[in-house]
Structure 1
Amino acid sequence: MTALTARWHRSINEIPTQQWRDLLGEGATPFYQWEWLSALEGSGSTVPDQGWQPFHLALWRDNKPVAIAPLYLKGHSYGEFVFDQAFVRLATNLGFRYYPKLLGMSPASPVLGYRFHILLGEDEAQLTAILLQTIDRFCKKNGILSCNFLYVDPSWRPLAEAAGCAAWLNQQSLWSRGEDQTFDDYLQGFNSNQRRNIKRERKAVANAGITITSLTGDQLDRDLLQTMYGFYEQHCAQWGQWGSKYLNQGFFEALADEYRRKIVLFAAHRGDPRHPVAMSLCVHDATNLWGRYWGTNEQIECLHFEVCYYSPIQWALERGIRNFDPGAGGSHKRRRGFMVRPHVSLHRWYEPQMDALIRAWLPKANDLMLEEIDAINAELPFKVEPPTLDF
């Protein structure tokens, strides 16, 4: 068998689209598909000037990639939503340089699913180990303190841990339909007080003369995605330097060209849905929905809850979608049908002192996070099956 060759790629465009698709196979989340990552790079949203240097690692055999690790060299920690300030402080106290770091995730997309993508029929454990060994050599040679994989696919986690990665537990919100078939079924899962509250919130939007229309597929074009970008930009601007504006207009326009069948916009309007007063953008596949961005031109009571939670849940129920991840942050999500679930990030540190200190701390930190998740879910105002906590 021909030997493997490891290559570092400073752009996803160095790997042909179809070869990337072959590596991902069926079932990969939209956020790791070639078109999404290419739109981020091509629009200038994830480029070195923004602190994201694409640095994908591939194993090649006979001019064909058989494994890929989507990676970025990061000069900061923005756009990750796994907050590593404690690690930054520890590195500073120990006299180590924390940045740049090597990062595996879909940029600015805190969604579960990171893994090494390996061609069907190859030895996944062996190639995972080879990729990690290649990463280790690169980081040690170049004085990089850490490599971090965020929002890890649970099915890939055992392979990475077997190869020496350390697991750090965090939390994220999720709605799952269970046996619900309609929005009324969803409402029946709540206690009576919260059920009345949700009905009141939806009525407040209707009383303001607002209609919500979902737009997807061939209904989308550049003009609509430019409108969505305007809402996104305006919403980020409200928060000043904390606005987390990671994407530019070119990225939204690229979605209209390449990705519109995986995008659904929820337009809040009084007349033409193409001229909304507010809008949210979600991404979907056959079984999952992900809430990503929103914005509004008017301050209307409860409109955020309607556009970002209730209408997407209703849309998901009507289309047989099983799960809805509404995005990072926001304890208000918990009163509207979203339980808390654990998610894992995996880490490697290349200074022995730093590595030993963090690995000694992680078991206690992870136990405390599990206790917090249990406590939060015990107080939810709706019936929920506890998440599997296999840690």
Structure 2
Amino acid sequence: MTDILDGYEISWAPSITDVDRGEWNKLAQPMHFPFLEWDWLRMVEESKSASPETGWLPAHLLVRFDGRLVGAAPLYVRDQSEGEFIFDRVWAEVAQKGGIAYYPKVVGMSPFTPATGYKFLVSPDAPTGKIVGLICHTLDRFCSVNELGSCAFNFVDADWVDEMESYGYAAWRHQGYVWTNNDYRNFEHWLSTLNSNRRKTVRRERKTLRRDNVRIEALTGYDIPDHYFSKMYQCYESTNDKFGVWSCKYLNETFFDELKKYMRENILFIVAYTEDSDEPIALSMYVFSGDKLWGRYWGCFEEVRFLHFELCYYAPIEWAIANGISTYDPGMGGEHKARRGFFSTPCYSLHKFTDASMDLTFKTYILEVNSLENGYISEMNALMPFVSKEEPDEI
């Protein structure tokens, strides 16, 4: 279906492959957020990891002017919330008690990717406010006509929140983690900002790995052997299998196989070996673009003390400092991240409900929910192991 609004052509794409790769990436790549680029979305969709069968129906909204793509919103129609990492069960229960349909809903995000950066893709030479307004108007009508419960955008760019609130969306605040590079010269410089107990712990953990003859290597792009992508899938699978019903195993082996063909220039592997073998005993995988780094997956073939901390925190921080990375998002997780130098920071999802009473309920109570989340963020940051004013900043 195609509509014409104010001279702009509005249409829907039921698959990212229905959009020209070059056109899409011309809008997406300047954002330096690889999870919204054409290749990433194609791999997720074409591998059937995100498909109608798994509860993800692609419905990407396109805006053209004079035949040229000037705006796009990566979207999926959903009949569940699994794999979004925005745990909205409480709101689904509120809707159910009120006799209001919560599903289906339309969601804007990169599937299975709790990484901050989502917003509409807009050509830099197009009127951004106009494009955003057209997309929001179209989504309001789409949800109403198709009786969808709501429209939500997950893990949005923080700078986008105020603009979208003006279109009736309410922001739900969540706790996330980030490491920030404060012009560190090297890993030891960063380590010197931690208190003495934490410095000793980090050094002890790394020394233990060296004593156990564990060697760590960082590999990017075409330096990554092809078969490591298959090994990464095995690690991803085995790590998730350990969590049983709490597993987050959403991607399949086809997706990892496609990674080595289409986006390996954005991939970093941190690999652990034993002294007597050139085959990995553990791997962690990261995505990077510009000066940003995101932690994605990890796993091991052998259980080794402290290896998780090395592959998921210390080695990527060391790589980030050496390669001019300004921010490193380690992914979701517990307070052990705070104890290893990761700030708790707010991240946001945006919500607008089709039913007026549900929308009012959400907007009324989300202020209290956000206040509680602010308290939790403060609690996590109180665990940060930085040098106190009383402690000399000496190694």
Same-fold call, TM cutoff 0.5:
yes
- Give the aligned partner of residue 110 of structure 1: 114
Letter in 2 for 1:143: E
CA contact (8 A) 2:77 2:106 kept: yes
Q: Secondary structure at the match of 1:279?
A: strand
Name the CA distance, whole Å, in 2 between partners of 1:303 and 1:225.
20
CA contact (8 A) 1:171 1:340 kept: yes
Q: Does 1:6 pair with 2:13?
A: no
Counterpart pick for 2:366 among 357, 362, 366: 362
Q: Does 1:246 pair with 2:255?
A: no
Name the CA distance, whole Å, in 1 between partners of 2:215 and 2:108.
40
Taking a change above 3 Å as real, the CA distance of residues 258 and 274 of structure 1, as seen in their structure-2 partners, is: farther
CA contact (8 A) 2:343 2:384 kept: yes
CA contact (8 A) 1:174 1:341 kept: yes
Counterpart pick for 2:199 among 195, 201, 204: 195
Taking a change above 3 Å as real, the CA distance of residues 49 and 291 of structure 1, as seen in their structure-2 partners, is: same
CA contact (8 A) 1:224 1:274 kept: no
1:109-258 maps to which residues of 2 (within 5 A)?
Answer: 109-258=113-262
- Give the aligned partner of residue 379 of structure 1: 383
CA contact (8 A) 2:32 2:289 kept: no
1:20-99 maps to which residues of 2 (within 5 A)?
Answer: 20-99=24-103
TM-score by length of 2: 0.94
- Give the aligned partner of residue 21 of structure 2: 17
Name the CA distance, whole Å, in 1 between partners of 2:147 and 2:216.
52
Name the CA distance, whole Å, in 2 between partners of 1:63 and 1:252.
35
CA contact (8 A) 1:11 1:55 kept: yes
CA contact (8 A) 1:267 1:274 kept: no
Name the CA distance, whole Å, in 2 between partners of 1:78 and 1:110.
12
Deviation of 1:10 after TM superposition, in Å, equals 0.8
Deviation of 1:272 after TM superposition, in Å, equals 7.7
Letter in 2 for 1:66: V
Q: Does 1:306 pair with 2:339?
A: no
TM-score by length of 1: 0.94
Taking a change above 3 Å as real, the CA distance of residues 358 and 254 of structure 1, as seen in their structure-2 partners, is: same
Q: Does 1:347 pair with 2:351?
A: yes
Counterpart pick for 1:284 among 285, 288, 301: 288
CA contact (8 A) 1:222 1:257 kept: no
Tell me the matched-pair count.
Answer: 384
Taking a change above 3 Å as real, the CA distance of residues 268 and 25 of structure 1, as seen in their structure-2 partners, is: closer
Letter in 1 for 2:297: Y
Name the CA distance, whole Å, in 1 between partners of 2:234 and 2:80.
26
Name the CA distance, whole Å, in 2 between partners of 1:92 and 1:213.
51
Name the CA distance, whole Å, in 1 between partners of 2:52 and 2:227.
28
1:274-322 Cα offsets, whole Å, 9 max, x none, are: 5111100001112111110001111111110011111111111111111
Deviation of 1:271 after TM superposition, in Å, equals 4.5
Deviation of 1:43 after TM superposition, in Å, equals 1.0
Name the CA distance, whole Å, in 1 between partners of 2:277 and 2:7.
56
Taking a change above 3 Å as real, the CA distance of residues 272 and 227 of structure 1, as seen in their structure-2 partners, is: farther
Bigger CA drift: 308-317 or 179-188?
179-188
Bigger CA drift: 273-282 or 169-178?
273-282
Name the CA distance, whole Å, in 2 between partners of 1:246 and 1:272.
34
